[in-house]
Amino acid sequence: MTPKALAAFSLAGRRALVTGASRGIGRALALGLAAAGAAVAVSGRNRAELDKVVTAIADAGGVAVPVVQDVTKPADCRAGVAQVVGALGGLDILVNNAGMEEVRPSLEVDEALWDRILDTNLKGAFFCAQAAAAAMKDAGTGGSILNICSLTSYRGIPTAVPYGSSKTGLLGMTRALAAEWAPLQIRVNAVAPGYFRTELTEAFYHDVSWQEAMLRKVPLGRFGQLDDLTGAAIFLASDAAAYITGQCLGIDGGTLASL
């Protein structure tokens, strides 16, 4: 690989916002983007937890700022992006990671649960993307938006209908925004993590029989580790992916390919 090609993977000089960054996948992606050279705004609802991520990035030699934000509120999405632009001088990368899940038989799903999941996973992602794209358009420099989809974007999972609906919608949104915003040089892509053990999914892993059943679906024979996600995020955010938009990359140990 030539030095020029290798340099395309660098995020030096870029400004990124990662939503839901206080823990799990969001925290890992924020640390990864910072390690690749980006200045990173980490957003979430808990300032104390965000400060821990900011400290971890700073201790590793990076630059980070906290943004207290509730993505279920469009006004918060806009205010958060405005805060990032003010603090970092602009916005080049948005990672829509904030999400929630609660398994429940579909006959027992009520409106409150449906709204809570869809408002976080889909509505929040759209209005954060809208605010970010507006800032990128005003700057005239384009940018990259990365949505965190799921295996449920492609496969139906019993007792996870609101979550699967939100993540399927997010995949459709990724493709539609990629087509619409391409003239603005704003690329919109997604990743679909497979089975990763995080705070959001921890309850499943308490069931040994569930673990054994899920591992049988993974050709690589192991669950994902958070570091498995960072390389793909850095790549899709970087100039190395300058001609890639509207795509969703499965990071699942081969699960979708083998079904």
pLDDT tens by residue, 13-33: 999 999 999 999 999 999 999
Q: How confident is the model at residue 179 (pLDDT cuts 50, 70, 90)?
A: very high
Confirm if 170 and 193 have CB atoms less than 8 A apart.
no
**pLDDT tens for each residue of 56-106:** 999 999 999 999 999 999 999 999 999 999 999 999 999 999 999 999 999
Contact (Cβ atoms closer than 8 angstroms) between residue 169 and residue 125: no
Q: Tell me how far apart the alpha carbons of residues 225 and 244 are, in angstroms, rounded to a whole number.
A: 25
Helix-helix angle 227-237:24-35, to 10 degrees: 50
How do residues 203-218 score in pLDDT, each as one tens digit? Answer: 778 889 989 998 999 9
Domain at 3-250: CATH architecture: 3-Layer(aba) Sandwich (3.40)
Instruction: Report pLDDT for 198.
Output: 82
Residue 200 pLDDT class (50, 70, 90 cuts): confident
* Contact (CB, 8 A) for 177 and 244: no
The verdict on whether 163 is a catalytic residue reads: yes
Mean pLDDT value across residues 190-214: 87
Residue 114 has pLDDT above 80, yes or no: yes
Mean pLDDT, all residues of the chain: 95
Residue 250, H or E segment:
strand 248-251
- Owner of token pair 């496969």: 155
User: Rounded to an integer, what distance in angstroms lies between the CA atom of residue 113 and that of residue 103?
Assistant: 10
Nearest by Cα to 71 from 31, 134, 130 = 130
pLDDT at 4 exceeding the cut of 80:
no
44, 26 Cβ separation under 8 angstroms: yes
pLDDT tops 90 at residue 109: yes
- Per-residue CA distances from 37 to 33, 99, 123, 190, 223 (Å): 7, 25, 30, 21, 28
Q: What DSSP assignment string belongs to 177-230?
A: HHHHHGGGTEEEEEEEE-SB--TTTGGGGG-HHHHHHHHTT-TT-S-B-THHHH
Nearest to 192 by CA among 235, 251, 122: 251
Burial of 110 (0-12, 13-18, 19+ CB in 10 A): exposed
177: tokens are 């925004």
pLDDT of residue 1: 63
Q: Give the pair of three-digit tokens for residue 189.
A: 């892509």
Two tokens at 103? 């398994």
Rounded average pLDDT over 134-148 = 97
Catalytic hit among 154, 163, 205, 243: 163
226-237, pLDDT tens digit by residue? 999 999 999 999
Length of the chain: 259
